[in-house]
Structure 1
Amino acid sequence: MDAGCERSRSQPSGQELREDRGDETHLLGPRASSRCHGAAALWAPGSRARGRLGARPQPGGRIRPLPRRPAAPPAPRPQAARWPRSRRLRPRPRPSHAPSRRAAAAGPPAAELPAAGLPRAPALCLRPGRRGKTTLICRNTMERQSRNSDHWRWLCWCESGLSPGQSRDERCGPAGEIRAHGWIYLARRFWAREVGKMIGLEHPLIPVQHQYVVTSTIPEVKALKRELPVLRDLEGSYYLRQERDGLLFGPYESQEKMKVQDSWVTNGVPPGFGKELFESDLDRIMEHIKAAMEMVPVLKKADIINVVNGPITYSPDILPMVGPHQGVRNYWVAIGFGYGIIHAGGVGKYLSDWILHGEPPFDLIELDPNRYGKWTTTQYTEAKARESYGFNNIVGYPKEERFAGRPTQRVSGLYQRLESKCSMGFHAGWEQPHWFYKPGQDTQYRPSFRRTNWFEPVGSEYKQVMQRVGVTDLSPFGKFNIKGQDSIRLLDHLFANVIPKVGFTNISHMLTPKGRVYAELTVSHQSPGEFLLITGSGSELHDLRWIEEEAVKGGYDVEIKNITDELGVLGVAGPQARKVLQKLTSEDLSDDVFKFLQTKSLKVSNIPVTAIRISYTGELGWELYHRREDSVALYDAIMNAGQEEGIDNFGTYAMNALRLEKAFRAWGLEMNCDTNPLEAGLEYFVKLNKDQNSCFAHFKEENGWVSRWAIRPY
């Protein structure tokens, strides 16, 4: 991600943070469930694919239960003839006593969900077993109640795992009800939007018609002694691979020619839709077929035996959504896979590791479902999906921008004022200035692998902040208000740093159980027990989910509020920053009174602001948090007051250059879930003497963090 949207103000190893001063299945309702105590509902391929644990798709969408050995075999089975381990997994009863601690944390079951119109794919429900292995304890699927009915019912194969005297309904719940004492995992292809709506979530997915063509046997292909590699032609916009003794190739049309299944967008997926296909349309892909024939001449003599036109789901940026979802507890998704089942094994392993160990096994922030929010409307999602599908095979550039569906409803108060003066970048739905142009300069968007038209203007902005004073719009920062009688205890548990005193700010990091850097935030102690937390725009809901989850797990009495859209932020930085702001406030901004990393509530040009003396540029500066509707008035007042000092705008490109020179780290770039604090040079912000309430201290005690890492070279 661009450094402009990733929040970090970290310093190199052994150095204090400083500044240059200048003049100084399947469903998850709220605690809804798979009805398997302590169970994790893991990867469930679609009804057209074979299940991981040997479940076989049957006509009508049913999944045949796992094969079971005879109760009394006539003779012992030889060891060599035993079934593979995946075939031998059988339901195992769970004691009827109270659920596990992890299960209890999920709370009581609460959601009765309608059976009509639900999907047919299986939900494989497993629980952790001995030595890290998993045990299949329940499998649910759906079937139509009658051939001509649009109503569905749950089928469960748990009878062999029932406790003495326990009925199937006691174990799995009645038809149409899903309960979860652990996790619900949604992997539903084009049904994902419908399932999400049942719990109040609008998953940003659009069904797109994708066609591929299969040929008959081609003698030249049949004569090959090894399988052809997959071919991807970026100019022709198609992929091609061997299919038995023939070839299969599928094109990606331009956004003008591609077809979205609009009726599904407005009315939802037709109840009962499963293996059906759409009518083929070769005219729509003919130019790609011709390109493939030119590249692979044997196609000219081949016969087409099948044209498949089926639905695939696209997210706005083409990438799937994988992981836990903010706003609903224990809701995990693996949806939006535009390239199908090829991802199944890796994604299933990734999620199961995360569920079992409490943290992602490696960084996949680009697939985080929380990169989208309420700003991803259906109109935006459709526009971006069209663009992304059409751009499937284009060459990508550094700092690339794509403009379909923009702007969203998420614009700062300064958007209209700055729109004509700068090149805007897209950050989690926000429009934020990347760089500003002057009269006579090239204002076009010109992506390149070399220096392009923004290089000189960004250099001027860099000098502006270093030598005079500049103003930048930082409104996309994620902003959380946390207060309550347990707020200090919660934050002390969350962060590896100490909690700042009232009226002060620090940089703090949330670490995973294995000591990886999950997030970096600015923590400001505004009043006793009340905090303002700031994070990068791209990690807003990513960080909020972790905070909310830890608060619930620990039973902390706190109120957590996301105020990102309520507040605007202006950054004023440079050696003349104090001089400009002092003209607009009666508050003493001198170094002795308003110290570095201090926060105060004051008025600037009679506008209430929360001022934090900090700047991501590393220069003397303040960040001014204010009501979003006051942004224009505050900006105009600052610009007018700074005319004598030569004030001007600067964007995120210049800010990124400035922070790199100060060695300020950025989460997502110099640190993430693949790095520990020492590898990222964050030891100044990690306090090894945290008390036992801290999860970091618990990790240190359990894993010998100090003794192992103190001598590790980095």
Structure 2
Amino acid sequence: MTLPSSSKIIIVGGGIIGCSTAYHLARMGQEVLLLDKAQLTSGSTWHAAGLVGQLRSNANITQLLGYSIDLYNRLEAETGLATGWKMNGGLRLACNAERWTEVKRQATTAHSFGLDMQLLTPQEAQDLWPLMDIGDVVGAAFLPTDGQASPSDITQALARGARDKGAVLVENMPAQEILVDGGRISGVRTPQGDVSCERLVLCCGQWTRELAATVGVNVPLVPVEHQYMITEPFGVPSDLPTLRDPDRLTYYKEEVGGLVMGGYEPNGIPWAVGGIPDPFDFQLLESNFDHFEQLVELALPRVPKFETAGIKQLINGPESFTPDGNFILGEAPEMANLFVGAGFNAFGIASGGGAGMALAEWVVNGAPPYDLWPVDIRRFGRPHQDTDWVRTRTLEAYGKHYTMAWPSEEHESGRPCRRSPLYDTLKSAGAVFGEKLGWERPNWYAAPGEDARDIYTFERPNWHDPVGREHRAVREAAALFDQTSFAKFVLKGPDAEAALGWIAANRVDRPVGRVIYTQMLNDLGGIECDLTCVRTAPDEYYIVTGTGFATHDFDWISRNIPDGLNAQLVDVTSANAVLSLFGPRARDILSACTRDDVSNADFPFGHARRIGIAGCPVLALRITYVGELGWELHLPVEYACTVHDALQAAGADHGLRNAGYRAIETLRLEKGYRAWGTDIGPDHTPDEAGLGWAVKLGTNQDFRGRAAVQAQREGGVTKMLATFTADPGVILSGRETIYRNGTRCGWLSSGGYGHALGRSIGMGYVRNPDGVTRDYVLEGAYELEVATERVRAEVTLAPLYDPRMERVKG
């Protein structure tokens, strides 16, 4: 076939993700050219196991997977091609008390997201899956709308659907080179010549990282060997549900009267460490029976007939896996108009329909259909540039695919990576570290004699009481937090104010020395960033945001600087350490360390100033995320130890205590402070989130999202963020279902415990398509579903803890 000389959109890769993206783009009326270096499905799609499950820990990812099922339900009728899709349901077993708690919490999550997950007795599970022994089964969950599909057939049906709508799909046509002109995508080079395009979409599976890297785009994924066994037929019913047995690390599905059995062993084997061989099309790796034996030994007690069933084949096919077990979607932050859909961690068939839909909308509209932060390519950062680090972390994620998903569980591999100058000092003080974007961050501090490590549980964990000590120190005296991991940028230039004024929802035309808390909004009024800006000079702003949002927020700000304005954004994260001093005695401590006046009259809330501490220049920001008097102290990293020691010495007589990030979480819940990525994000507007006061609608200044916020303010909202409290014995961790007057109306976005209040606390949106007002929220009677049981809850729209409150508004 002769290639066209140009196409508006080029997709590279003809697996299920590429074909699904082409299908959805063509349905949107877009001009699409898909190129595959060999034949459709020849990468990893053709050997995928084909289980299709829906439930994830995030509502929107669950919605995306549900879209896949809706698509597969109609695809055969639409295209005339068989897909092998069967909605035979999915079973998940629990074989111990803790797993049963996890399953019950998953069932509640399913109910929160509108899925009918049913809890079954062992006998009821066996009635659905008679081949299994249930001697060790405590219970099971059943999702009737799960199922299985034939990966190759689904992909070919999507390909036909794409062609029927005008897409051009060309096999045996590799993209040999990505062409860039003036820093922008211009096309691809093929054996038939160059083809120009406006947008390029890489859906190349395990080949994506290498191809993207040729133009400076990082896609953190690596291939890992994944094996599953196919038995000879032995009378397995064709309507048998899929089965996941996480305590035995295995999964099962029916195939032609036999079974497919695979799993996720703890010692996964990386593949192609030195590069993927070429060609590698419709190829498998040599079966590794010795390695697979550990899964067979776990499976035999569950399915005794395996002992006598004939083995047809042991499939060993490499799949692309990622460091956090989530796939990768979105526009690359390094290159405008280059999009990625890759790294599907062996659940590409379940994700394929929805991922292709979301990616197509992203390409056409510049944004996904809803917030997809858990899979957004911008969630990665500096450590993910190193493939060896990525591989180490990815193998840990692979091995944890079926292990217990504990609340607050931390990764163990690839650590320590990024360290504050105070790392060793804090470790010797009892710090138990967590990790975020490679940064080691103190989560909590163990006292002498306490076990300085996390012991995970679904009940109150071993750090509950130590965090309580730190929490009360903030409320009653003072605590010092090392927050060096904050992402920090400088926006500088003669047009800095104009540029930031367009991007930020709050006013930034403030005097030098003022701190501005602001959101940054998309065209629908959704919150894309939630951060702090300090005006440090007439032509300069210092911007501080969360550790995990470094890539995302830098990308959002830099892309939205209007054309023609002279303003440059620079990442200065590694240049500055941050020590946060919070608590009613914070002023006493700080004033003992500096000659500068830090009184309320001279240094009020919402102001920033350069002060000196022990010979060190410090940018002090009087703000709070915990609801007490305090300062964030930003200083060059080489001064961190000196300033830390000075503060500790001054605080010795004032009850100063070290504190970590888990105390920050409990403290902010008491104050009702929002967290981006959980409580607020692109699907939430300031008015819905209770942040409308931080929007400059009272001015005549235009800003991105203004029209949407104005329209919503005139028309009202259909959801509103509220805070809920429950008895202290109730364990809240997020995703618990909210019931108002007995009717499901939402779910908790975050949950925890308030140590000053002695109550469990959760935050979540009360939803009503007919509209939500403050009175509507406050007049309801509420219950929360926690691990399938309902408990009474109280609601408020105000901070729970008020004494000595530092108002965020300033």
| Bin for the TM-score computed over the shorter chain | 0.7 to 0.9
Q: Are residues 512 and 690 of structure 1, via their aligned partners in 2, closer, same or farther at CA, if it must alter by over 3 Å?
A: farther
Q: How does 1:43-192 map to 2 (within 5 A)?
A: 44-45=14-15, 53=23, 61-62=38-39, 136=166, 139=169, 142-143=172-173, 175=191, 182-192=198-208
How many residues align? The count is 591
Change (3 A) 1:404 1:178: farther
Residue pairs, 1:452-601, within 5 angstroms: 452-499=461-508, 500-551=510-561, 554-601=563-610
Corresponding residue of 2:314: 307
Which structure shows the bigger proportion of residues in strand conformation? 2
618, 623, 628: which one aligns with 2:637: 628
Q: Determine helix, strand or coil for the equivalent of 1:644.
A: helix
* C-alpha distance in 1 between matches for 2:448 and 2:169: 66
Work out the CA distance in 2 between the residues paired with 1:656 and 1:50: 40
Structure 2 CA distance for aligned equivalents of residues 306 and 606 of structure 1: 71
Match among 359, 365, 372 for residue 373 of structure 2 = 365
Shift of 1:417: 1.1
Q: Is the 8 A contact 1:474 1:568 kept in 2?
A: yes
Note if contact 1:140-1:154 (Cα within 8 Å) is conserved in structure 2.
no
Report how far residue 85 of structure 1 moved: 7.5
Q: What is the distance in 1 between the residues matched to 2:164 and 2:564?
A: 29
Task: Provide the C-alpha distance between the structure 2 equivalents of 1:656 and 1:329, rounded to a whole number of angstroms.
Answer: 35
Instruction: Determine whether 1:322 maps to 2:293.
Output: no
Contact 2:433 2:443 in 1 (8 A): yes
Q: What is the deviation of 1:466? A: 1.4
Cα separation, 1, equivalents of 2:197 and 2:20 = 27
Answer with 459-468 or 297-306: which moved more.
297-306
C-alpha distance in structure 1 between counterparts of 2:18 and 2:546, whole Å: 40
Mapping of 1:352-501 within 5 angstroms? 352-376=360-384, 377-408=386-417, 410-420=418-428, 421-499=430-508, 500-501=510-511
Mapped pair 1:195 → 2:172: no
Aligned CA distance change for structure 1 residues 621 and 154 (closer, same or farther; 3 Å): closer
2:581 touches 2:631 (CA, 8 Å); kept in 1?
yes
CA distance in 2, matches of 1:432, 1:473: 7
Q: Give how far 1:584 is off.
A: 2.0
Structure 1 residues 523 and 617, CA gap change in structure 2 (3 angstroms)? same
Which has the larger displacement, 175-184 or 512-521? Answer: 175-184
Corresponding position of 1:350: 358
Largest Rg, 1 or 2: 1
Q: 1:708 to 1:230 in 2, by over 3 A?
A: same
For residues 439 and 355 of structure 1, do their structure 2 counterparts lie closer, same or farther at Cα, with a shift above 3 Å needed? same
| Separation in structure 2 between the aligned mates of residue 48 and residue 544 of structure 1, nearest angstrom | 28
Residues 266-305 of structure 1: pairs in structure 2 closer than 5 A: 267-305=274-312
CA distance in 1, matches of 2:382, 2:685: 32
CA distance in structure 2 between the aligned counterparts of 1:449 and 1:648, rounded to whole angstroms: 28
Deviations 1:336-364 (A, max 9, x none): 11123331111011122223333332222
Residue 271 of structure 1 and its aligned partner are, at CA, apart by 2.1
Check 1:136–1:531 CA distance in 2 against 1; reply closer, same or farther (3 A cut): farther
Aligned residue for 2:679, secondary structure, equals: coil
Q: Which amino acid aligns with 2:229?
A: V
Give the aligned partner of residue 639 of structure 1: 648
Please list the CA deviations of residues 373-430 of structure 1 after superposition, one character each: whole Å capped at 9, or x if unmatched.
Answer: 222222322221221111111111111112111111x211111111231110111111
Task: Report deviation, 1:172.
Answer: 7.9
Deviates more, 1:314-323 or 1:44-53: 44-53
The alpha carbon displacement at 1:473 in A equals 0.5
Deviations 1:606-647 (A, max 9, x none): 101111101211111010111122211111111112222122
CA distance in 2, matches of 1:290, 1:233: 13
Contact 1:411 1:431 in 2 (8 A): yes
Q: State the SS of the aligned residue for 1:346.
A: helix
Asked whether the equivalents of residues 153 and 176 of structure 1 are also in contact (C-alpha less than 8 Å), the reply is no
What is the CA distance between 1:143 and its match in structure 2? Answer: 3.9
Specify whether residues 171 and 575 from structure 1 end up closer, same or farther in structure 2 by C-alpha distance, changes over 3 A only. closer
Is residue 648–residue 656 contact of structure 2 (8 Å, CA) maintained in 1? Answer: yes
Partner of 1:39: 9
Per the alignment, in what secondary structure is the counterpart of residue 251 of structure 2?
strand
Contact 2:486/2:546, CA 8 A, preserved across alignment: yes
Q: Name the residue aligned to 1:670.
A: 679
Are positions 1:213 and 2:229 aligned together?
A: yes
Q: Which residue of 2 aligns with 1:239?
A: 251
In structure 2, C-alpha distance between the alignment counterparts of 1:58 and 1:584, rounded to whole Å: 65
Superimposed CA distance per residue, residues 499-549 of structure 1 (whole angstroms, 9 cap, x where no aligned partner): 133210121111121111122011111110200111111111111111111
> Does 2:241 correspond to 1:229?
yes
Distance 2:200 2:263 in 1: 35
> What secondary structure does 1:218 align onto?
coil
Give yes or no for the alignment of 1:709 onto 2:709: no
| Distance change in 2, residues 1:610/1:295 (3 Å) | same
Change in CA separation of 1:174 and 1:212 when aligned onto 2, cut-off 3 Å: closer
The C-alpha deviation readout for 1:190-236, integer Å capped at 9, x for no partner, is 111211220123432221111111112222x1xx3x52111111122
2-structure distance, mates of 1:584, 1:50: 61
Call closer, same or farther: CA 1:56–1:62 in 2, change over 3 Å: farther
Residues 184/505 of structure 1: CA separation in 2 closer, same or farther (3 Å cut):
same
Q: Kindly state the Cα deviation for residue 176 of structure 1 after the two structures are TM-superposed.
A: 7.8
- Hey, what's the Cα distance between the residues in 1 that align with 2:33 and 2:605? 64
TM-score, normalising length from structure 2? 0.68
> RCO (CA 8 Å, sep 6+): is it higher in 1 or 2?
1
> Secondary structure of 1:625's partner?
strand
Report Cα offsets for 1:575-627 as digits up to 9, x if no partner.
11111111222211111111101011222111011111012111110101111
- Could you say which residue in structure 2 is the equivalent of 1:24? none
Q: Give deviations 1:650-677, integer Å, cap 9, x for gaps.
A: 1111121111111111112221222221
The structural deviation recorded for 1:244 is 2.2
Instruction: Give the counterpart of 1:249 among 256, 261, 279.
Output: 261
Taking only aligned residues, the RMSD between alpha carbons, in angstroms, comes to: 3.5
Q: Distance in 2 between matches of 1:134 and 1:624?
A: 61
Identity %: 30
Distance (whole Å) between structure 2 residues aligned to residue 681 and residue 466 of structure 1: 24
The 8 Å contact of residues 188 and 196 in structure 2, kept in 1 or not, is answered as: no
2:10, 2:624 → 1: CA distance? Answer: 44
Q: Under a length normalisation based on structure 1, what TM-score does the superposition of the two structures give?
A: 0.76
Tell me: CA distance 1:84–1:173, structure 2 relative to 1, closer, same or farther (3 Å): farther
* Cα displacement (A) at 1:51: 8.9
Aligned to 2:340: 333
Unmatched segments (≥5 aa) in structure 1: 1-33, 65-82, 89-121, 145-151, 156-169
For residue 492 of structure 1, report the CA deviation from its aligned partner. Answer: 1.3
Q: 1:216 to 1:56 in 2, by over 3 A?
A: farther
Q: Is the 8 A contact 1:496 1:690 kept in 2?
A: no
